[in-house]
Amino acid sequence: MTCRSILVALALMTVFAALAQAAPTVCNAECTPSSCRTQSCTDPESGSTITCQAWGTYNVSDWDCDGVGSGDNCPSVANSSQADCDGDGSGDACDSENATYQPTNDASVCHIDAHSSLLPFGHWDFDVEADIRWEDTSSCNAPDELRTQVIDVETCWSDLPFLLPPKFDCCWIEIGSRNLCTAYLDNDQCTGS
């Protein structure tokens, strides 16, 4: 054998060894009841690459393949740490709201919505809305949120049937503030969600 043929033989052996390492293993040897469903393997009959799920043998209790079976707090999203910063039982990786929000005393009136009715006696209903700051009380450190909520509902009645009392006068008498009625009666200035 010449040096050249030895080098060619070594090169071919290296290529075949690399291909053998990269190729998926045969499914009946690789797929076990503890295998991840997305693990690749070679179907021994067709020679095609499939997953252990397609082969039919895999760890059915660990759908997301994160090593946590039953009791996984995110069963369809991998999260081996099982982190749950707000303690709601849904892991951080799949929790749509990683926070536990509580309202603060920081509220600002931003709208007084007036609606009326003439039956049986004329009256105005006033829904007082405020922007309220909500803060996260969990360890998630989520940003504060501004939410608009109805904080008071007042009704002003007429003494006569089918007659509405004056809207602005009813507002400031029932709400207790001319300034609020002037600024926010039927004038929505709310910015919260």
Least confident of 76-80, 107-111, 119-123: 119-123
Amino acid 104 reads T
Q: What's the full length of the chain, in residues?
A: 193
* 10 pLDDT higher than 80: no
Q: What is the pLDDT of residue 70?
A: 87
Section 165-183 average pLDDT: 92
pLDDT of residue 120: 75
d(CA 47, CA 147): 58
Mean pLDDT of the chain: 87
Is 55's pLDDT higher than 60? Answer: yes
Amino acid identity for residue 7 in this structure: L
Structure confidence at residue 20 (pLDDT): 46
pLDDT tens digits for 69-94?
889 999 989 999 999 999 999 999 99
Average pLDDT in the 26-38 region? 90
Q: What share of the chain is helix, strand, coil (3-state, %, to 5)?
A: 25, 30, 45
CA–CA separation, 154 and 127 (whole Å): 7
Give the global pTM. 0.61
The structural domains of the chain, with segments of one domain joined by +, span 3-55, 101-184
**Contact yes or no for 182/136 (Cβ under 8 A):** no
For the cut 50, the answer to whether the pLDDT of residue 110 exceeds it is: yes
